[in-house]
Amino acid sequence: MNPTVTISPRGEQRLRGGHPWIYRADIGEVNAAAGDLVGVRNVKGRLLGSALYSDRSQIAIRMLTSGEKPANEALIASRIDAAIGFRESLGIDGTAYRLVHGEADLLPSLIVDRYGDYLVVQALSQGMDRLVPVVVGALTERLKPRGILARNDPRARTLDGLPQTIEVLSGDVPDTVTARESGIEYEVDLRHGQKTGLFLDQRENREAAARYGRGRVLDCFSYNGGFALKLASVARETIAFDISEDAVARVRSNAQRNGLNVDARVGNVFDELRGLDRLKERFDTIVLDPPAFAKTRAALPAAMRGYKDINLRAMRLLAPGGLLYTASCSFHLTKPLFLEMLQDAASDSGRRVSIRALTGQPLDHPEVLSIPETGYIKGALLEVMD
């Protein structure tokens, strides 16, 4: 008999709302093993669709299809095809971008990022982990990459009882690869870099910041230099801060590779902003792209204080007419809370601050309204008027 799971009326209602997850509390009878492709039935026995089943995670079910449509290898391959086709239609200026954004591409718990001729895959559930050979087959047939790496080291995998591993799935993957993002070339360490190597989720915001940025630029939380390098070509002077020596070394080597001038320094942004203010330094453009301060809902109040602190200080450091690009990638800090924090910071800064644009994720990281978890980046381009 095909593996099946029965879900409660509350679970069924959730599906109707367009969310593909069913939590453990909403499942009843289970005739399935860890990672099975299952038929999902309601309490009356009606088939609601097919899904990935986990026997460990609180997310017991991740829907793949609805109704009678079967979930099989051909379905996975066709979804991968569709996801790639969508990215190709975007005309992205660069060789590094996201090919598969999990639930948003109807491929729950699967991430695929492209870095030129190389692909990086993350399978974040038992079911998707089992399907990795199918994923690799489909990617190989469609794109013929030189190598595919599994960056299966996110902690989320442990919630599903899966090991944290990094391994080459096909071809060869060198220690560093070259990738280009709108005119800037990066050397990327796919095995050890953060996320899958670069923060691909800020590409459009980097372009927007460079469109408006000018003069004396300060890039805070620079990592490998995403914003600093993009801004350096329009700036008079660019200073970048990151707490990681490794990251700062990469900003320097990437700047050299692109013939750009960036003064990359190791430092704690909280202290550095305070120090710069004390020295009465002023900037025309500031970028704040911090790590997620609120990794859990419980951490929100402290995170709000942290975000407000850096935004308030950045507003004070800007010359009249200066530009602030500020972001939060904390999922738990919602859009309204992000705005509330910025309003608070602006009113305490004593400056008049206007919104030029509210931004989010680039189009290759689609945010689906009925699946809030697909969206996490909030961004704002602000002008400190006087």
Handedness of CA 200, 202, 203, 206 (dihedral sign): negative
Kindly report the number of other CB atoms within 10 A of residue 285's CB atom.
Answer: 26
Whichever of 119 and 198 has its CB closer to ligand SAH, that residue is 198
Which 8-state DSSP code applies to residue 33? -
Whichever of 227 and 376 has its CB closer to ligand SAH, that residue is 227
208 CB contacts (<8 Å, ≥6 apart)? 325, 357, 359, 381
By the rule CB under 6 A, 115 interacts with ligand SAH? no
By the 8 A CB rule, do 166 and 152 touch?
yes
Q: Which of 115, 227, 307, 325 binds ligand SAH (CB under 6 A)?
A: 227
Binding span for ligand SAH by CB under 6 A among 67-75, 82-90, 146-154, 222-230: 222-230
Residues 150-209 that bind ligand SAH (CB under 6 A): 199, 202
| Element holding 247 (H helix, E strand) | helix 245-257
Whichever of 53 and 241 has its CB closer to ligand SAH, that residue is 241
220 assigned to active site = no
Cα–Cα dist 186/173, whole Å: 16
Record the tokens describing residue 15, joined without a space: 């599906």
Cα–Cα dist 312/352, whole Å: 12
Q: Which of 247, 255, 333, 380 binds ligand SAH (CB under 6 A)?
A: 247
Site string for ligand SAH, 281-310 (x = CB under 6 A): --------xxx-------------------
Cα–Cα dist 222/177, whole Å: 20
Q: Give me the least distance between CB of 286 and ligand SAH, in Å please.
A: 12
274 CB contacts (<8 Å, ≥6 apart)? 313
Q: Which of 13, 165, 256, 268 binds ligand SAH (CB under 6 A)?
A: 268
- Tokens 């990795």 found at: 132
Cα–Cα dist 204/280, whole Å: 32
CA distance to 60, 133, 233, per residue, from 263 (Å):
48, 44, 13
By the 8 A CB rule, do 382 and 326 touch?
yes
Q: Give me the least distance between CB of 352 and ligand SAH, in Å please.
A: 27
Whichever of 112 and 269 has its CB closer to ligand SAH, that residue is 269
Whichever of 84 and 269 has its CB closer to ligand SAH, that residue is 269
By the rule CB under 6 A, 243 interacts with ligand SAH? yes
Q: Which of 35, 193, 226, 322 binds ligand SAH (CB under 6 A)?
A: 226
Q: Which residue is nearest to ligand SAH (CB)?
A: 226
User: Catalytic one among 209, 329, 333, 337?
Assistant: 329
Whichever of 138 and 229 has its CB closer to ligand SAH, that residue is 229
How many amino acids of this chain bind ligand SAH (CB under 6 A)? 19
Q: Which of 270, 277, 358, 360 binds ligand SAH (CB under 6 A)?
A: 270
Q: What is the 3-state secondary structure (H, E, C) of 248-273?
A: HHHHHHHHHHCCCCCEEEECCHHHHH
Cα–Cα dist 43/8, whole Å: 6
By the rule CB under 6 A, 222 interacts with ligand SAH? yes
**Contact set with ligand SAH (CB under 6 A):** 199, 202, 221-224, 226-227, 241-244, 247, 268-270, 289-291
Residues assigned a catalytic role: 329
